[in-house]
Amino acid sequence: MTDIDAISDKILRELSRDGRISNLELAERVGLSPSACLRRVQDLERRGVIKGYRAVLDPMQTGKGFVVYVSVGLGTHTKFSQESFERAMKSAPQVRECHNVTGTIEYLIRVEVADLAAYKHFHTEILGTLPQVTAITTFVVMGSPKDERA
């Protein structure tokens, strides 16, 4: 685990809000000189605290406005079964997130597609063809009053 002091925490919060902020603006917001701020950001990147920068896309504008979370249960709990499922999710462009979780199911995935018909295709032709999948529950996103994913 990496120690994060108060100033680095401020830097991380600002960068998570706007990864394209200039170093000059970032330094001003966190109360550092530009050179000190840049050194801290580079150190956070070098240590792997900052893993990368991304564009936040609007699913509606990209034609993928039908968003669902899907809980997936597996019939067997072997390493092979999990690795096979994870490979299938990595290769499915509709899957934007895949999380191995605890509880009554093994995975929670986020799927972004154009519409219900596209989701039905994913549900039937991708999830439905995986032999290790025994339970699928779909939760349709009706709105996102807070979403801080980068």
Q: Say yes or no: 76 and 19 in one domain.
A: no
Please state, in angstroms and rounded to a whole number, the distance separating the CA atoms of residues 110 and 97.
5
Question: CB neighbours (10 Å) of residue 114?
Answer: 15
Please state, in angstroms and rounded to a whole number, the distance separating the CA atoms of residues 3 and 23.
22
Q: Say yes or no: 28 and 77 in one domain.
A: no
Q: DSSP 3-state assignment of 84?
A: helix
The residue-averaged pLDDT of 99-113 equals 97
Q: Say yes or no: 97 and 126 in one domain.
A: yes
pTM value is 0.83
Residue 54 in any domain: the answer is no
Q: What is the domain-level CATH number for residue 16?
A: 1.10.10.10
The residue-averaged pLDDT of 4-10 equals 95
pLDDT at 129 over 90: yes
Q: Name the residue range of residue 26's domain.
A: 6-46
Phi then psi for 42, rounded to 5 degrees? -60, -35
The number of domains in the chain is 2
Question: What is the band of 58 on the pLDDT scale with cuts at 50, 70, 90?
Answer: confident
Q: Say yes or no: 34 and 91 in one domain.
A: no
Q: DSSP 3-state assignment of 122?
A: helix
Question: CB neighbours (10 Å) of residue 119?
Answer: 20
